[in-house]
Structures are given as structure tokens and as C-alpha cells.
Structure 1
């Protein structure tokens, strides 16, 4: 009963418009006191300290700084605007640009919170200014920003490989085809939607396109597209070549973004100061949500929520595919309330031996779970990516508009999960031929 009441109070507080991070932490503290008593105030600081001391999370402020510095340099926004103008005659050209740039940032960061925040800062004002509807704009931004869950260097895949004892390199390679398919499906959707709803997705005026093309040159195009790839190579290249860990690569990315800003002659003391202050503010917002999620996870387990889910899985006498479906459903539901790091360390050690007994390919299972977690990160009412976007969106953007805008992308991700279940070679093909 307390578990059910916990969800009701949390959902009710969110609907009343209270801040997500403080709602998670506040409701958890109240119910945690009735669950643990005074011991809560000993347990919770230990849990929060344990979460915050995770070395992987050190990359968050560095990647956020990289995104903010890119914004100050104008490189990312110039790439976004250039692609939008070049695709100006294409229906939904700016939204298509957002999907592509989101995929590029995902390949640079691997941190969902950082990518969603960066995309929200760069593209949302531009889309709203051009007359795109709030639902259409926030939907593609949140969906594209969450690509960091599946596109390497994904923190989810790194943790999954360590827990399931799978090669992280194989996981990165296996995620390439699903990641590319997901981006492709997003682009197809925004194009079709724009064609069917021209009033909600106005085209870029021909005069603006013609004016832009007058200033366009081969050298400017080269500069626009090469510099972001330099950043991606600096981050991913340092990982794939074994020079740096993902956390260290975040430092490489932050340094590379600073050097690129200097190359653009925009590295001033004012830019550095603003980038540091903005990075600190945004990082605090992301980590406050994480603290709230940690508190909620502690109380959720204290009330026996995780035991109920695990017993449901272990007690089921099902076929391998039915068992897989049950695990995916349980993880999907848990993803509403528990951070992906906690889900991976709670669920995967329990279910991995069972998957092995069933004879299922663990590489395939790991990619399915990662896609599933990505979907739960987007699903209302507790999708963490939606909270991150709401944190940097203009006050005129309502939570309900973000929820409405993300629904088509949830359907797309569910479609991809079904395709990967039906055609396992979408995951296993590249690792097999590269052995």
C-alpha cells in the first residue's frame, strides 16, 4: 500500500507543477522516514555519496561544458543553421538537421543529460522562432538527445558490458546498425509529419535561403562540417585507439571544444566565464535530478519494489522469448523511477545467468535492454530526458506539450525493438564480420 501511495503522491505532485528534482527527493524523504525511520538520514547520504563518487559521472560536467562552449563558439549552431538552410526546400528541414546534429553530439558525448541539455539550448529557440509547434520541436529534440543511450560511446553500453561480461568494443560495434536505423526512422517521421502539417512546420522563406547562399562558399562549408567532426574524432578516436577512457575522453572533448572556440576567435574571458557559470548551473540541475532519483531508488527498494519485480521474473515458468519480454517490461517500468545505472546493477546480474541458461545471445540481449532503457527515458510521466529538456526550455513550454510531442518517437523506438527481436542479425551482423 505504501508503494502504491508513493507513486500516487509523486505523480500528483508532478501534475501540480512542482520541480521534478525536489519532488523526487521530497516525496522520497517523507516515505523513507516511514520505511526506515531515523536510519534514513544515515543511509541516504551514503547512497548519494556512492552515486556521486562514480567516476563515469565526472564526465557529465565536462560534456556539458563542451556543449556550452560549442554554443559560445557558434560551431554547433552554425552547423545546425547551415544544414537547415541547405535542407530549406525539404519538408521539416530544420527538424531533420536536429536529428542529424543530435546523433553527432551523441557520438561525441555518450551522456543523455548533457546531449538533451545541449540540443535544447541550441535548437529549441531557433525552432520556435521559425514557427515550429512546441510539440514538434520538443519531441525531436528530446528523442535526438537520447540517442546517446545507444550510439557509442554510450555509458549504458559501457556499464552493460562490465556487468554482463561482454566486450565493450563488440557492444559498440553491435549498436551501430540499430543507432543508424533509429536516426533514419526519426528523419522519415519528421519529413512525413511536415508534409502532412505544413501549418505546424513552416518552410524557411525562399528569400532567406537565397540570401544565405550568396554568402556560401566551399571554404565556409568545409569549415562548418569539418570542425564538428574534429570534435567527434577527438572524443571517439581517443576511446577507440585506447588512448583515453570515456571519462578521460570527456576531458579531451572539453579541451577540443575550447581550442575550436579559440580557432573561431571567440575564446574571450567573458565566453569562458559564462561557459563555466552555465555549465555549473546545468550540471547542478542534472545532478539534483540524479540525487532525487537516488533517494527514490532507495525508498523504492526499501518498500520491496525491486523484490516484487525480481520475484516476478524468477518465478515465471516461461519460454525464452516470453521471459525476455517480461524482463524488458520490468526494466521498462523500472526505468520510470530508477536511474539506468541502478537498473543495470540491480537487474542484469540477476537475469544474465538465466539468459545464458536459455541459450540467448547476450550481445543481442544487451542491445535490446539498452534500447528498452532509452525508450523508458522518453516515456511520460517520469522520462528523465523530458525532465532535462524541461529544465532548459523557455517558461512558455508546458510539460504537457513535451509529453505530447514525444509520443510518436516512443512508438518508433518500440518498432525498432520489435525489429531487433525479429531480426537479431541487425545486432550480430557487424560484430560477426569484424571478428
Structure 2
């Protein structure tokens, strides 16, 4: 029965959307009506309102959507959605201030003389507007009203003109800052948690191990990472658009002619270009640059964008005057002063301890007041001119409310979908598809593409993504990143905006296009751009570093970068070390040189540890080579093992699915003990027998050779893992041992400084009262504890203190122990001096040489070159399915 109500849910939603009912109310309405009908039907025909739900009851699922949405708002860590109204305000303000019109006119004059230059200028401006507004409808309408008449007037093909405008208008879906990327990031953050749990369960069922190595876990994403990940694919798409228009204009010049600029390219023209182009580019740089540089969060960048849009509108909307640019200049000066104060002074108010600190705080406070004055001044201008500020605030409130109401409705619809087993049905369907991950991925992308004909990106992001994303992210065969999946979905949604006959961008453009432009011409015009977008999807799908590299680069170069010992980085780190060792013999030479050092000058324990460390260096070199050799053996064996592994794991998946039904049936049968329930019990037992028979049939399909092949391949992988584990321990020991000796030598000055207090301690022990003397000896002991390598002196002093602290203080014993401490000190003075002269230079050279190879794991953070290597290595998706 659950399937009937699931179909009813989809039918009610489709009918309400098709009838033009607002989507913000159609989604929750369909959920509430279907849950109510299911509860009533269960009450009248089965005696329980919970009878026809997959699990739980109507009250649970009605409250689930609201509860889930409250989780988004009430969790402090998930505050990304705050950025949505800020970016919406920024976009509407720039659109109302006619920045788009200025850009289009100026860029058309600049690119006009180039073949297809007018179309290229439309793409360029579309990219700029996408990076500032991110609102498809507003961008398409604005460019349709401004550029379409100009393109038609200059004999551009109607198909090319409309296709260019529609495609450029949709760039706001993928070029950051984008509302869809923010929502996708929020949804994927939850999906990665579910995917991580699913992958851990899969690993446990496949291997029997209770815990999964963190290197196999699913990484989450954020809005900032989504922005970074979408930046290069967005630029690739813009480049494809421009290249197509240029080639089209060269091959068919009559359909995209050059448009000569009738004016002069003089200083006045260049000044106009600068005034028109520089402010939007500067705003983009501030918004995206602050995120990329780690200076601001997405929310803070949204506030920067909103403030920047007000400043720009403050000088664009007024007609002129001497003070026209004063607010903008004041804001620029204030930001320059703030930047100077932050870079030149300690701006922590609580830590003011000098006149320089006070000066820095004063400069920052004054600049902040200036910036606020500039914002208020610009806001007052915008408010006075046609009440623009009120209109922008009203539109922002409406759009934001619509977004969040849709989020609430989608959360309720998703809850109803799960209530009737829809999520399990989708999961079983996708997991049952032949072809593994890529077949699942293609089907999901095709469904999203089709849904894009009918639904806005918000509904797709909050209804479809939470259901399918955990399944795709949990698959270990592709081992994709959440940011890559989000960008691919964003590109797909953008493509669906163009597709006839339901593309939203076409509807927006049709509403403002003149009657001379036929709808068929518009459909013909977007076909080439749809193919370009599919090409971009293919390029990004086939080369994940286009998405993953930039977020990784920013992460590894940031102050909070993951340390080199991070378990998820070890494979990449070992590849890097292996490359360094192959390219240079410096590490081997340094080890050989260190072996030539005379270690006899050191105490036996230090000499033994140092010699052992040098031995571990040789072991590390050998084990790394062994690990690489074992990895090659595993790679050679994988093609023969993979087919059988896939077959068996697929069979085991079917067995687990049947096993879940068996457990449910056994539980239900155990509760049917009354004689009146015998018929129902017999029915369930017959169903149980069918499932058990299917399990037995699946078990019989497992090849006889599976156990031997699995055991053989497991030994190969275990050999590789063991070699890598031994290498890591040996490499750490090879670097730590000389570091400990150098730490002792570095403390020589501190050690020498304690000679006087140590010599004076004899008279203290002899003449000072025992309790006071015990305290002074304890202080001296602590001083030696802070000095590396002085344990023997410290131990003797501890014994002296103990003799003074006993119930019957014994000065004689204390003096004996004190004398031992002096002897130990004098011995240390001798070997410390010899080691300083004979070992320091050699050990320092050894440590510096191994720092970038065997010792890299023990560094606090990566160097720049190492960080870039890690970013490049981790940008690729690594198939880990054979570990499951």
C-alpha cells in the first residue's frame, strides 16, 4: 500500500504544479494531504493510523519536515543560508542601479569591431552579472531588453542572438557567488554525513572490521568550497561560449557581423570603460577574493557584496554633481586605512600595551566610522531616488521568503517521500542498476535534467539531492568528492534552464523579446549552447581536478591547513616523497654522511638512539620502495580480481537486502502467537520461506574460486599496507632521533647557566633548614627538567630532595646525592662540548636534508611546494572499492 500513497504524493504534487499553484505551497500541501489520506485510510480499513506508512506514523512524518528545517536554522555550525538574502540584495541592487545596462553598452563598443564581438560582449557581461547577481531571471530579462534590440539592429541572426542571451543569463547558476551553490552546499553537508555512515557499514559488512580507516571516509563540503570548485568550470563554460561565437562569426560573418565603433578610442573612451568595468570587477574581487584568501566567510563576503552594491548604486543612480563620487571615494579611503591598520598594528583591543597599538585602534575606528558614513550617505541617495532602497529591500524580502518557504515545503515533501518508503525504493533501484556508479550517476543526472524543465533549482536542490546524494557519495568505486558532485549538479541544472520547450530562461526571454523573434528561432539558437554545456559537463566529469584543485589549494595553503600526519594524505605524501627520492640522491647521501659521524662522544643511551634512528632511515628507504613494488603488484592483480569482486559484492548486496526482510518477517511472526492469527502467521511464514530460498539461491551463485582469489588478493593488499605502515614508523624515527640530539645541543647555553646555582647548592644543603633547603633543591630540579638531556642530573637532585623531605631529614645522604649530580653535570659538560664541535654541523645537515622527504610527516605544516603537490594529488578521485 505504501507504493500507492507514494504515487498519490507525486500525482498531487504534479497536478498542483501543473495547475499553476504556487510551488511554495504545492510541495508541503501535497505532503500534508497524502499523509492525511494515508492516516485516515489506515484508521478505517486497518484499525491503525500507522498501518500504511513505511515506518512510524502520521504525526512523526508531519513534524519531520519542520524538525529538519529547524535543525538547519538552530545549528550554529550551519549558518550558510544567512548568505542568501545578502547575495539577493546585492543582485537586485545592481540590477536596479542599471549597472548591467552600462556594462552591456560599454562592452559592446569595446568588442564590437571583433567578428561576433557583440555576442562575445554579451557573454562577458553575462559572466560579470553572474558573479554579482546570480539571479537568472533578472539577468536574462535585463540583457534581453538591452542587448537583443542592438544585436538584431546590427543584423545578428535571431537564433544566435537569443541563444547567446539565454545561455549567458544562466551563468548565474554556476559562477559564484550563486544561490544554488549555497543551497547545494547546505544539502550536501547533510548528505555526506549519511554517506559516511553508509560507507562505514559497507566496509564493516565487507571486511568484518569494526572501524574503517579514515582515508576511506567521505569528506564534507561548504559554500566556500563550492564557490571555489565552481569557479574554473564556470570559466570553462564562458570560454566555450566565446569560442563558439567567434568561430561562428568567422565561418558565417553575415549572421554575426563586426560592429565598428563610430566614436574614437581616446582617453575619454578608456576613462568611461574604466569607470564602468572596474567597480563591478573590484566588487567581484572583494567578494570572491575574500573567500579564496580565507579573509571572510561566505556570510561575511555576502555582507561585503551588499555594501559594495549600495556604494555603486550611490553614484550610478544620481544624475550628476560635484559630490557624486564622494561616498565611493570615502569608502575606498576607509578600506585602505583599515587594511593599513590591520597589516601594521596589533588590532586586539584587549592587548593594548603601547602607543603604537592605540594609534592602530584609533585609525581603525576612524576608518570604520568613515565607511559607515559612506554607506549611510549612499543609502540615503538610493532611498530618495525613486524610492529604490525600499523597492530593493521589498524584493529581497519577497525572494528570500520564497526561498525559505520552498525549503520548508521541500523538507516536508521529502519527509512524506520517506514516510512511504520512497527513499528505500530509489536506493534499491539505483543500487540494483548494472554498470555501478557511473550508471547510477547518469540516471540521476538525467532525472535532474528532466526535472529542470518543470522545477526551479531550489526545489531540485532540496528535494532530489538529499535522496540521491548519499547513495552516490557512499559508493567507493568512484569515491567522488561532495564539491565535485555539487558542481556537476549545478551545471546540469543550468543546462535544463535552456532546454526547449520548458527552459525557464527561454520563458524569461520570450517575455521581453520583440514579436519579430519567433519562438522556434529561440529554440534553434539554444541548441548549440546546450551542446556546449553538455560538453562542459563531460569535461568536468572526466577531469575532476577542474573542480577539486582550487578548494584543495586554498585549504592546504591556509593557516588551518591539515597537518602532514593527516591519515587521509599519506598515500599522496608517500608518492611525493618517492618522487623526491627518485629525483635526487641527497637523502641517501645525507644518511651515509651521518653514519660517518663519531657517535662515541655521546652517552650510550643517546648514541644508541641516534644509531637506531640512522638504521631506521635505511629501513624507511627500503620499505617505501617495497611499498611501491607491492602497490604495482596489487595494480597488476586488480584487473583479474575486480570482475569477480564486483559480482560477489553484488550478490552479497542482494543477500543483505533479503536478510533485512527476513529479520522483519521473523520479528512479525514472533509476535503472532494467538490462534486467531494463524492464517496471517502462515502467510508470513510462506513469504519468509521465499526470501530464505532466494538467499540460498544467491549464495549458490558465488563462484567456488572466490575464497581463494579473495584471500590471495587480500594478502597482496596487506603486504602493501604493512610496508607503508613500517615505512611511516621508520621515517618518523629516522627524523626524530637526530632532532632529539640537536634539542640537547640547543640547550647547552641553558645547561651552562645552571652551573652557578648547582655549585651554590652545597652550602644551602649544609646550612639551610631542611624544609627550606628541600624547596630550593626542588626549584633547581625543575630548572634542570626544562633542559633537554639533563635527566641524570635531575634524578640525582630528586634523590637529594627526597632525603631532605623524609620524616627524618638526612643531610649526609642529600650531600652524597648532590655530589653525584655535580659529577653528572661535569660529565655532561664534557660530552656536550665534544658533541657541539663534532656532531652539530653533520646532524643539522642531515635534518635539513630529510626535512622534505623522510621527515615531512613530522613538520607542523606543509611548505608551499608540498601543499601544491598535495592539492594536485588529492584533486583526483581514487577508486577504493577493492578495499571493501
TM-score category (smaller protein):
0.7 to 0.9
Q: Decide whether aligned partners of structure 1 residues 64 and 134 sit closer, same or farther in structure 2, where only a CA change above 3 A counts.
A: farther
Q: Decide whether aligned partners of structure 1 residues 213 and 426 sit closer, same or farther in structure 2, where only a CA change above 3 A counts.
A: same
Shift of 1:236: 1.4
CA contact 1:143–1:378 (8 Å) conserved in 2: yes
1:143 paired residue among 147, 158, 167:
167
Partner of 1:318: 435
Matches within 5 A, 1:324-363: 324-335=441-452, 336-337=454-455, 338-354=459-475, 357-362=476-481
- For the pair 1:177 / 2:297, whether they are aligned, the reply is no
Matches within 5 A, 1:84-99: 84-99=108-123
For residues 333 and 287 of structure 1, the distance between their equivalents in structure 2, rounded to whole angstroms, comes to 26
Shift of 1:424: 4.0
Q: Decide whether aligned partners of structure 1 residues 391 and 88 sit closer, same or farther in structure 2, where only a CA change above 3 A counts.
A: closer
Partner of 1:241: 293
2:125 paired residue among 90, 101, 104:
101
For residues 330 and 310 of structure 1, the distance between their equivalents in structure 2, rounded to whole angstroms, comes to 14
Matches within 5 A, 1:297-312: 298-299=412-413, 302=416, 306-312=423-429
Q: Decide whether aligned partners of structure 1 residues 4 and 251 sit closer, same or farther in structure 2, where only a CA change above 3 A counts.
A: closer
Matches within 5 A, 1:29-108: 31-32=30-31, 34-37=33-36, 46=66, 55-108=79-132
For residues 265 and 410 of structure 2, the distance between their equivalents in structure 1, rounded to whole angstroms, comes to 52
Shift of 1:274: 1.8
CA contact 1:92–1:194 (8 Å) conserved in 2: yes
CA contact 2:89–2:396 (8 Å) conserved in 1: no
Matches within 5 A, 1:112-127: 114=135, 116-127=136-147
TM-score (norm 1): 0.75
1:254 paired residue among 292, 306, 316:
306
Partner of 1:368: 488
Partner of 1:414: 534
CA contact 2:158–2:522 (8 Å) conserved in 1: yes
Shift of 1:416: 1.6
Partner of 2:280: 228
For residues 107 and 77 of structure 1, the distance between their equivalents in structure 2, rounded to whole angstroms, comes to 16
SS class of match (2:296): coil
Q: Decide whether aligned partners of structure 1 residues 351 and 36 sit closer, same or farther in structure 2, where only a CA change above 3 A counts.
A: same
For residues 423 and 63 of structure 1, the distance between their equivalents in structure 2, rounded to whole angstroms, comes to 30
Q: Decide whether aligned partners of structure 1 residues 289 and 257 sit closer, same or farther in structure 2, where only a CA change above 3 A counts.
A: closer
For residues 299 and 401 of structure 1, the distance between their equivalents in structure 2, rounded to whole angstroms, comes to 38
Partner of 2:189: 162
Q: Decide whether aligned partners of structure 1 residues 306 and 405 sit closer, same or farther in structure 2, where only a CA change above 3 A counts.
A: farther
Shift of 1:277: 0.8
- For the pair 1:188 / 2:243, whether they are aligned, the reply is yes
Q: CA RMSD in A?
A: 4.4
For residues 42 and 201 of structure 1, the distance between their equivalents in structure 2, rounded to whole angstroms, comes to 56
Shift of 1:125: 0.9
Deviation string 1:66-101 (CA, Å, 9 cap, x unpaired) is 234334544442222111111112344333222222
Partner of 2:398: 284
Deviation string 1:193-220 (CA, Å, 9 cap, x unpaired) is 566777876764x4xx213646843333
For residues 400 and 531 of structure 2, the distance between their equivalents in structure 1, rounded to whole angstroms, comes to 26
TM-score (norm 2): 0.41
SS class of match (1:126): helix
Q: Decide whether aligned partners of structure 1 residues 261 and 117 sit closer, same or farther in structure 2, where only a CA change above 3 A counts.
A: same
Shift of 1:410: 2.6
For residues 100 and 352 of structure 1, the distance between their equivalents in structure 2, rounded to whole angstroms, comes to 35
Q: How many matched pairs? A: 418
For residues 293 and 235 of structure 1, the distance between their equivalents in structure 2, rounded to whole angstroms, comes to 25
Shift of 1:419: 2.3
CA contact 1:375–1:414 (8 Å) conserved in 2: yes
Shift of 1:351: 2.6
SS class of match (2:435): coil
Q: Tell which deviates more after alignment, 195-204 or 64-73.
A: 195-204
Shift of 1:275: 4.0
Shift of 1:391: 11
Q: Decide whether aligned partners of structure 1 residues 301 and 161 sit closer, same or farther in structure 2, where only a CA change above 3 A counts.
A: closer
Q: Decide whether aligned partners of structure 1 residues 158 and 7 sit closer, same or farther in structure 2, where only a CA change above 3 A counts.
A: closer
Deviation string 1:104-155 (CA, Å, 9 cap, x unpaired) is 233345x4xx3x2442353221123325377655543443343344334443
For residues 27 and 534 of structure 2, the distance between their equivalents in structure 1, rounded to whole angstroms, comes to 30
SS class of match (2:294): coil
Shift of 1:360: 2.8
For residues 70 and 519 of structure 2, the distance between their equivalents in structure 1, rounded to whole angstroms, comes to 31
Shift of 1:427: 4.0
SS class of match (1:339): helix
For residues 239 and 97 of structure 1, the distance between their equivalents in structure 2, rounded to whole angstroms, comes to 27
Q: Decide whether aligned partners of structure 1 residues 386 and 289 sit closer, same or farther in structure 2, where only a CA change above 3 A counts.
A: farther
Shift of 1:285: 5.2
Q: Decide whether aligned partners of structure 1 residues 95 and 44 sit closer, same or farther in structure 2, where only a CA change above 3 A counts.
A: farther
CA contact 2:473–2:480 (8 Å) conserved in 1: no
For structure 2, the 5+ residue unaligned runs are 1-6, 38-57, 193-218, 319-377, 554-867, 872-884
CA contact 1:334–1:343 (8 Å) conserved in 2: no
Shift of 1:43: 5.9
Q: Which has the higher contact order (CA 8 A, sep 6+)?
A: 1
For residues 42 and 392 of structure 1, the distance between their equivalents in structure 2, rounded to whole angstroms, comes to 39
For structure 1, the 5+ residue unaligned runs are none
Q: Decide whether aligned partners of structure 1 residues 30 and 246 sit closer, same or farther in structure 2, where only a CA change above 3 A counts.
A: closer
Shift of 1:186: 1.5
1:219 paired residue among 263, 271, 280:
271
Partner of 1:271: 385
Q: Tell which deviates more after alignment, 408-417 or 148-157.
A: 148-157
For residues 66 and 520 of structure 2, the distance between their equivalents in structure 1, rounded to whole angstroms, comes to 35
Q: Decide whether aligned partners of structure 1 residues 33 and 153 sit closer, same or farther in structure 2, where only a CA change above 3 A counts.
A: closer
